Amino acid sequence: ASGKNRVAPAGPLHTDFKLASDGGYLALTDRDGGIVSEFRYYPAQREDVSYGRDRFNATVTGYFVEPTPGRANASSGAGFSPPVEFSRPGGTFTAGFALSLAADDPQARIHYTLDGSVPDEDSPLYATPISVTSGMRVRARAFVTGLLPGDVRSEGFVALEPGVVNFSSDLPLAVLHNFGAGTVPANVDQPAWLLVFEPTADGRSSLTNAPDFASRVGINIRGSSTQGYAKSSYAVETWGEANDDFDRPLLGMPSESDWVFYAPNYFEPILIHNPFAHALSRQIGRYSPRTRFVELYVNTRGTAVRPADYMGVYVIEEKIKRAPGRVDIDRLEPEHTQPPQVTGGYLMKIDRADADERTFSAAGQGIVYQDPPGPEIQLPGRDAQEQYLISYMNAFGQALNSAGFTDPVTGYRAYVDVPSWIDHHLLNVLTFNVDALRLSTYFYKPRSGKLEFGPLWDFDRALGSTDGRDSNPRVWRATSGDRGTDFFNYPWWGRMFQDPDFWQAYVDRYQALRQAEFALTNLFALVDRLTGELREAQPREIARWSNHRPRGGSYDSEIALQKTWLSNRVDFM
């Protein structure tokens, strides 16, 4: 509200009016005049001091000494009540205890909740230590008259039954506990708590150790064809106190908020298909999600963690998203409506669309928006971005299908980053991923750049899995079921393989990789490294999930089958 009346597409908007410094009425309305938000009376304003709403309780307003333009209002610092201190950090316990709360101000009143809600002044007032005897999430907040409420502090305390107290592993252990919220839903985030325990100096991890990672999280069951499996995969988002994304490093992987807890299933008794494909992609210089194996416990009853909560071996992997260290492309803001900003970045996929996703058709292909998300890019204010992307994709399709499609200036090469397309295709052909190119297929357009394919995703039905379609490593396409992907004739790709220069670049790249990352010595070493991490946990996996038993009667026989399959595959190619 500066009175400068600025509407520069690439800059902050400024109103054509100023606010009265001595106070008054202020409302934000929609285009039909409906009130979206209002201050019936805001008080006198101070120079260089912001005024607004508490981020947890919109009915609470006050002065913010440290303004946060473009970000959520602060909840701590000057002008705020002090933080609440807990006598004990969250984690696991085997015997009940008394939890004390304190704040560094004698005038502070501490209110707390045990049901996961944000405390307000109607919540229970802390007076005596809280008795913790079973699983409990405690959220507390301090209130001082004349100040804004302090930040919310939350800790999760997870009880352990005797049957898990002495359990240890050479893998990290993880616990997802939703404090009795019941069955984890699909597609809708359910509040929960995540604890992760890494091996200590003796090489063993234990649930009785202090957790190396503890966080509020939102979880939901994920997967398309696998969503109904008894061994569920989970989308896990680390949360701050306002259920907002809160970036955290996890198991040595770079700091971020969105993770996938992938459940290896009966298609891959060897348990390593996704980590194998992702690692191989990274080896050849193409980003693919980083991964770590864990053994996971999931408790939805609100009681102590017990042996029956053991869910087996999981792969924690980075979710594919636009972010530094993942798909590292520029963020598109709503005001980016002109070149060069409007040219990227865009993240897309070819896949079945989830309920909250949106699709578009271009260049003869159905495409799912990823970033900006469909519900956002289809808003009127982002119309220029949506139209740019659709026009770019259609121009690519027209160039690809034109008579002069091989022309490096006017043909398809003007729109695509050929090396990334070749690498993506080779990785999927090498692993015989029967869903490649048509499902779980990501690609993106950087700002002022060409279309790049990747990162890789979803390799359970690949590498000679029990699916059957990929069992024969000496064919280009499956001969059973729906026959899977037709690698060399699928839309876009079939036309490119009609270009002799594309074919030659493809062959040259494969031959170079066969002398390095695709050499059997490297492929076998990767198999050995990944399966070596699972030697101890694999028997527990098949004890929990009997349909995950290895072929040939032992894990060694499954490993031998994998190596034989790979040997035949590269020989065939």
Model confidence over 322-333: pLDDT tens digits? 999 999 999 999
- Please check the confidence at residue 65 and state whether its pLDDT lies above 70: no
Give the angle 86-90-91 at the CA atoms, nearest 5°: 150
Q: What is the pLDDT of residue 443?
A: 99
What is residue 427's DSSP assignment? Answer: H
CB-based contact 400:496 (threshold 8 Å)? yes
CB-based contact 367:357 (threshold 8 Å)? no
Element (H or E) spanning 376, and its range?
Answer: helix 374-377
Model confidence over 127-186: pLDDT tens digits? 999 999 999 999 999 999 999 999 999 999 999 999 999 999 999 999 999 999 999 999
- Within 8 A by CB and 6+ apart from 318, the residues are 253, 256, 258, 259, 260, 289, 290, 291, 326
- Please check the confidence at residue 63 and state whether its pLDDT lies above 70: no
Coil, helix or strand for 287? Answer: coil
- Please check the confidence at residue 16 and state whether its pLDDT lies above 70: no
- Within 8 A by CB and 6+ apart from 112, the residues are 101, 119, 123, 124, 126, 130, 138, 139, 140, 141
Give the type of residue at 376. E
> What are residue 175's phi and psi, to 5 degrees?
-130, 125
Q: What is the pLDDT of residue 57?
A: 74
SS3 letters across 519-531: CHHHHHHHHHHHH
CB-based contact 220:237 (threshold 8 Å)? no
| Side-chain-facing half-sphere of 538: CA atoms under 13 Å | 21
Domains, the chain: 84-158 (2.60.40), 161-318 (no CATH), 341-518 (no CATH)
Using only C-alpha atoms, the chain has a radius of gyration, in whole angstroms, of 27
Tokens 């390095």 label which residue? Answer: 516
Element (H or E) spanning 431, and its range?
Answer: helix 418-431
- Please check the confidence at residue 121 and state whether its pLDDT lies above 90: yes
Give the angle 221-225-228 at the CA atoms, nearest 5°: 50
Q: What is the pLDDT of residue 226?
A: 73
Average pLDDT, the chain: 93
Model confidence over 438-448: pLDDT tens digits? 999 999 999 99
* Percent of all residues in the chain with a pLDDT value above 70, rounded to a whole number: 92
CA 570 to mean position of chain CA atoms: 33
- Please check the confidence at residue 387 and state whether its pLDDT lies above 80: yes
Q: What is the pLDDT of residue 263?
A: 98
Q: What is the pLDDT of residue 167?
A: 98
Q: What is the pLDDT of residue 28?
A: 83
> What are residue 399's phi and psi, to 5 degrees?
-65, -40
| Side-chain-facing half-sphere of 540: CA atoms under 13 Å | 21
How many angstroms separate the CA atoms of 80 and 83, rounded? 9
How many angstroms separate the CA atoms of 569 and 474, rounded? 6
Q: What is the mean pLDDT of residues 36-55?
A: 69
CA 461 to mean position of chain CA atoms: 22
Per-residue confidence at 47, pLDDT binned at 50, 70, 90?
Answer: low
SS3 letters across 88-106: CCCEEECCCEEECEEECCC
Both structure tokens of 259: 């993770």
CB-based contact 176:219 (threshold 8 Å)? yes
Model confidence over 401-430: pLDDT tens digits? 999 999 999 999 999 999 999 999 999 999
How many angstroms separate the CA atoms of 425 and 433, rounded? 10
Judge if the upstream peptide bond of residue 67 is cis by omega within 30 degrees of 0: no
Model confidence over 182-200: pLDDT tens digits? 999 998 999 999 999 999 9
